[in-house]
Amino acid sequence: MSHNNQQQDTIFNAVTTPLGDELTWRWEERQSALLAEFSWEKKDRILTILRQLFPQEWHRKNIKKAPKNLKDELGELALLTKEQLIFTRPASDETPAIAIIWWPWGHGATYSMRIKILTTDYDDVALQQAQASLIKKIFQRIASR
């Protein structure tokens, strides 16, 4: 699904406006995402807002439970390490599915955050199927021992 610039701005503003005007955003062509970099002092406030805006929070231990099409679209971004997060929201009547990629830098003083409009969607059924598939794989491994 392709969006014109006005639609894209509206979608991004639904996330950037609640975060406030302290962040400076720029377009990152390589990831096709809106990017902001900020210092650690803003981390807690931004995380609180993201957790209110996005129903799913993925981290290194639960990303395996994410729907396959979501992981496929995110590609290398879904290979999370410690403290990296991905927040997602499925599509609605007004907006496509959206992902926020949360990246602490190695030194701990700087964070980057990307807002990415997803071309694929997922729903509660896909979330439940992904979780059931993972549980099934775990039981198969246990049974094969």
d(CA 145, CA 97): 40
If you write DSSP's letter for every residue of 64-97 in order, what string do you get?
GGS-HHHHHHHGGGG---TT-EEEEE---SSS--
Q: Do residues 53 and 89 make contact, with C-beta atoms less than 8 angstroms apart?
A: yes
Residues linked to residue 36 through DSSP beta bridges, in sequence order: 25, 113
The predicted structure's pLDDT at residue 134: 54
* Digit-coded pLDDT (tens) for 72-100: 999 999 999 989 999 999 988 888 899 99
Structure tokens of 22? 């302290």
Can you list the residues of the chain whose pLDDT is less than 70? 1-4, 123-141, 144-145
pLDDT of residue 104: 94
**Which pLDDT score is estimated for 140?**
64
- Contact criterion met (CB below 8 Å) for 74 and 99: yes
Neighbours of 12 (CB within 10 A): 19
pLDDT confidence of residue 95: 84
φ and ψ of 72, to 5 deg: -60, -45
